[in-house]
Structures are given as structure tokens and as C-alpha cells.
Structure 1
Amino acid sequence: MGTETESFRTVPAEVRPYLAELVRRTRAVCGPRLTGVVAVGSLALGDYRHGRSDVDVTVLLAGPPPAETLRELAEALDHRRLPCPAAGLELVVYAADFARVPSGEAGYLLDLNTGARLPGRAALDPAGGPSFWYVIDRSVAHQDGIALYGPPAPEVIADPRPADLYAAIRASVREHDDGQGHLADNRVLNGCRSVVYCRTGRWFAKRDAAGQVAAAEEEFRPLIGAAVRSFERPRVGALSLPGPQVREFLGWVRARVDERAAAVGA
């Protein structure tokens, strides 16, 4: 395994061979520029659901590298060349110097989405796009990221400043409130996760966060329970949730997030 880390063994067995090959190909393309590969998202939070979850990975490069290197990496990891066993791969490449400093910017060098259930994307320029996904992912990575290659995640990925992070959480809630392109269960569970972060200052797995909110908020307990049951099914088998109740819940989430964001000056 070369300099891949012992923590590599903590990722689910269903995706471990795939991630090992992803690291190998990334090293082959990027060479000595590669300083870190970190599993984030559901892998980091211990809530990976095979057949439902994406594989989320952050790559850190000394650089920035030539654009040709980034394009070559995107080609090497494309689902057609390296089939992803999960719903898809969401991989983000940052300059190592950027990732070490708190930021509210997207700041990526490459944003790659590929997989059987993801629309393909290989973007090299973050200008004009939303930044909140990346800010939240870096916060999760700083807290619980699994180093697949290189130093521990907290040493190489900074936690965003509170004002930047809560601005990102607010933007995430607005995105899920709109609902376009998101499964209803994921909208509800991301709302739970946002509320629990506001209350605790820590990121929890979606189902853990759902349990905490359902225990405290009886009014929303049936909806949250239905969202969890849906989340435990494959994406193609996701359950339909009542739209008015989802919107009411997300309005409540938004109010809780706005209260916390105002308290930290976001």
C-alpha cells in the first residue's frame, strides 16, 4: 500500500478495492505533487449506504498543477474507465496551500462527478458557481475525514471560519428547500444534520442527526421516520414524501439555522 494510511482500513469493504485503485491512479497521474487523499461525506461520518451513497473524496496537490494533469486525472477516474461501485464518485481537488487555510470560497482545481447515478461533470473553474457544498465538505473533512494517503485530515484541511460555515449551511438549506434535483428524504435528512450542527457544533451522520431531531421535535417525528426508511432503500426505490410537510419542516430548519447564523455574524 506504499504510504497509504492505516485508516484506509476503516472504509467499508464494498468500496475499499475501488478506493485503493483510485489512490493508485491518482498517484500515477499526479506523482510527487500529490500530498493527500481524504475520504469525506458519508464515508467519513460512518453512514455510507451501499447502493444509495456516493463516494466523496478530496485530493490535495502541491501546485496548482498544469491543467493537462487535472484533465488526465479526470479521465483516469471516469466511471467508464474505473467503474464506481457506489452511486457515484464526487471528487474535489484542491491546492494543498488553499486547503490548509480557512476559507468560505469553493476554491477547487477540479470538481469531478462520475458514476452510474450521477450526471457527469469535470469542472476546472469554480467562478460563478455555489461555494457552500465545498465549505461544508471541508468542515466535515477537518472533523472526521479519513486519510487514504498522506497526513491526517485535520493537519491538511482547515475548518472554515464560523461565519463562512454558517453562511454555507444557510445556502445549503435554501438549496434543499427549493428541492430541485434532490430526493425528498435527502432534503429532510440534510435539514436534520444542519439543525444538529447548529445545536452541537459537530457533524453527525444523517440517520444519527435524524434520531436527535425526531426525539426532540414530536411534530416532525413521522416525517423524519419516513425519510429514514426511504434513505435505507436504494435511490431508485426512494419513497415519496408529502411535499407540504417537507416544505414545512425545511421552513422550521431554516429558522433554526438563521437564528444560529445571526448569533455568529454570518
Structure 2
Amino acid sequence: MTCLLVDPQSLPIELRPYLEDLVQRARAGCGSHLVSVFAVGSIALGDYRHGRSDVDVTVVVDPAVPAQVVRELAVTLAHPTLHCPAAGLELVVYDADFVARPSDRAGYLLDLNTGALLPNRASFDSTRSPAFWYVIDRSIAHQTGRLLHGAPVRQVIAPPTRRDLFAAILTSVREHTDGAGHLADNQVLNGCRSVAYCRTGSWLAKRRAAQLIATSEADFQPLIDSALRSFERPRSAALALPTADVQSFMAWVRERVEEAAETTADQ
């Protein structure tokens, strides 16, 4: 049987059968309406950690796809109907016309969170979701999205404008600082990735971004090193990091992102 994945050897070995099955189900469900399937997040950035990372997948469909087809995808791709071997699946379905243009909106047809370590949630109303997650994911997709099936990523998805992207990054930093339910190591590493983007203009894997910031910011190196050690562990065994140190670091991150956002606004 011919593999449906574009380049299975480039994917984490633990995920290859799962992603093959996911693409097969998406193709069977959408038929000719399926445009593209690609991975974003840690898979796209080459930093997937089995037992810790989610699988982040974007599906792009023809605008004429029936709403019922999208609703059926939420059932056929949900765990455990399709058993997710990772911590969870975060899958977003977009209309091809929407993602072909820059946007500051969430804009999805389906946002599916499912898996052993994620609460099952299927949303079909993008106005109910904070837009910043999706703006950042589309930026990562345009830069390094890993094509699984269909049309090439950059032919399908447009990057957000710099103004919209920096607004989304700043909102993300606020969420990781003040929002509930975030692991401390993920707060720190997402903060590192945000600052690294501001400095380099490219999305880096969390560990690479952390190493970049730790090298230049000696005061935060012990905290970042602890976050990296924790990130090597399963979510259930994450290390506790000093709350005051995390908050101090995130305040510093916010200042750096605000500076970069102001510079972008002036351009």
C-alpha cells in the first residue's frame, strides 16, 4: 500500500503510523475538498518530545466543504476513536480562502483538542476562541510547516502581518504569565521562544531558543536550565520552578516583546 505521507522518514518514528491514519481519515472524510494537511508546532520546528509534546496538525479544505463533513472529522479524528500516541492532538481545520490571506482572526472551521492528556474539546465557532494562538501557529506554518499531504504549505497559507503577529505574541506572553494551567517550564520556554523571535525574526524550537536566551542573559540562566531539565521529563513529572523567579522572567519577556512591538508599529 502506498504511503500517503509526503516524507514519512522526516517525522518522529513514534508518530508515523498515527499521522498516516490521520491523513487517510481526513482524505476519506473530505474527498476532493481536502487541499492540504501539514504539521506545525514541535514537529515543524524539529523538537518533538514523545510523552511531552502535543501533535499539532493543520487541515486546509475547499471553501465549498459541507459543514457536516467538518463535524464528522471532529468525531473520526478524536481520541480514542483514533488513538493518539502523543500527549494530545491539537488539530485545526481552515477554509482555503481564509488562510490564503493574512488575518488577525482565529478563523477556523474546527478546532479539535483531544488525547490522553488533553480534555476533549471540539469548537466550530472561531469567534469564541482567543485569536493569538492561531495567528502564531499560522506564522510557524508559513515558516516551517511540515507538509504531510496535498498542496505545498506556502502555496496554501499566508503569514500574518508583522503588526498582527507581534500583537499576538504579546497576548501569548500575557496568557502564559497570568493564565491558569500552564506548566512552569512551558511558561519559561515559551517566553524564551518569544524573545528569540523578536531578536532573530524566526521561530526556533523551544530548547534552541532557551539556549540562545540563557547564553545572553546570565541572570536567568539557572531558571532556564531548570526549565530545560523539566522539559526532558513527562508532563506528569515536571519540576516545580520558583514562582517568583518565573514571574520575574516573564515580566522581563513582556518588556522585550513590548519593545519589539513598538518598533514594528513605528515602521
Normalized against structure 1, the TM-score is what? 0.97
Whole-angstrom distance in 2 between the partners of 1:3 and 1:15: 14
Distance 1:95 1:156 in 2: 10
How far apart are 1:8 and its partner, in Å?
3.6
The 1-side partners of 2:150 and 2:30 are apart by 14
The CA distance in 2 between the partners of 1:5 and 1:260, in whole Å, is 38
Matches of 1:65 and 1:220, distance apart in 2: 49
User: Matches of 2:162 and 2:171 in 1, distance apart?
Assistant: 14
Q: 1:21 aligns to what? A: 21
SS of alignment partner, residue 59 of structure 2: strand
Deviation at 1:27, TM superposition (A): 0.4
Q: Which runs of 5+ in 2 are unaligned?
A: none
Is 1:206 equivalent to 2:206 in the alignment? yes
Q: Is the 8 A contact 1:35 1:60 kept in 2?
A: yes
- 2:185 counterpart residue number: 185
CA distance in 2, matches of 1:42, 1:203: 11
Q: Which amino acid aligns with 1:102?
A: P
Structure 1 segments, 4+ long, off by >4 Å, are none
Q: Does 1:239 align with 2:242?
A: no
Cα RMSD after superposing both structures: 1.3
Q: Quote the offset at 1:7 in angstroms.
A: 3.0
Secondary structure of the structure 1 residue equivalent to 2:48: coil
Structure 1: 5+ residue stretches without partners: none
What TM-score, normalized by structure 2, do the two folds share? 0.97
How many Å separate the matches in 1 of 2:263 and 2:219? Answer: 26
How far apart are 1:199 and its partner, in Å? 0.3
Aligned position for 2:168: 168
CA-to-aligned-CA distance 1:189-233 (integer Å, 9 cap, x gap): 000000000001000000000000000000000000000000010
Aligned partner of 2:143 in structure 1 is 143
Deviations 1:149-180 (A, max 9, x none): 11221221111100000000000000001141
Identity of aligned residues (%): 61
**1:52 maps to amino acid:** R
Q: Which moved more, 1:80-89 or 1:150-159?
A: 150-159
Please list, as runs of the form range in 1=range in 2, the aligned pairs for 1:61-72 lying within 5 A after superposition.
Answer: 61-72=61-72
